[in-house]
């Protein structure tokens, strides 16, 4: 009886482990599908934005396009670099905006929240994701 009981317990343990692994795999697949959908949405938005004239882009995408022109995905950059690149151009395109630096910071946060940028640290270091 003890041998049979041990075998049954072992079988039950194997089945439980298999179910747990299956659930982990299933959750990972769902996570990857969600990430893929997010990437599709970003690509669709970028494709829409890319055909527009720079003046027709939202400020957020003007900043994003300028960052893409100056940095690649693997490059880290500082907030002061973003100011150097964007401040003059945005001032030219938005002459009534007297708070360009604040606008840049807000749009960097939006780009981060939308999955385009990653904040590396709390000292103004960023990198592009897409």
The pLDDT tens digits of the residues spanning 50-104 come to: 555 777 889 999 999 899 888 877 789 999 999 999 999 899 888 999 999 999 9
Say what the pLDDT of residue 77 is. Answer: 93
| pTM given for the model | 0.59
Domain residue extents for the chain:
1-51, 54-130
CATH top-level class for 54-130? Answer: mainly alpha
What value, to the nearest 5°, has the Cα angle with vertex 69 and ends 85 and 113?
Answer: 80
Q: How confident is the model at residue 40 (pLDDT cuts 50, 70, 90)?
A: low
Q: Residue count of the chain, please give it.
A: 130
């Amino acid at each position: 009886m003890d041998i049979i009981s041990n075998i049954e317990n072992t079988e039950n343990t194997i089945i439980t482990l298999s179910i747990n692994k299956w659930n982990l795999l299933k959750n990972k697949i769902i996570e990857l599908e969600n990430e893929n959908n997010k990437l599709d949405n970003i690509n669709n938005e970028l494709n829409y934005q890319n055909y527009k004239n720079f003046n027709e882009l939202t400020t957020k995408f003007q900043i994003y396009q300028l960052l893409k022109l100056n940095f690649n995905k693997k490059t880290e950059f500082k907030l002061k670099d973003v100011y150097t690149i964007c401040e003059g151009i945005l001032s030219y395109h938005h002459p009534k905006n007297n708070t360009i630096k604040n606008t840049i910071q807000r749009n960097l946060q939006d780009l981060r929240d939308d999955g385009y940028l990653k904040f590396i640290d709390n000292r103004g270091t960023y990198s592009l994701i897409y």
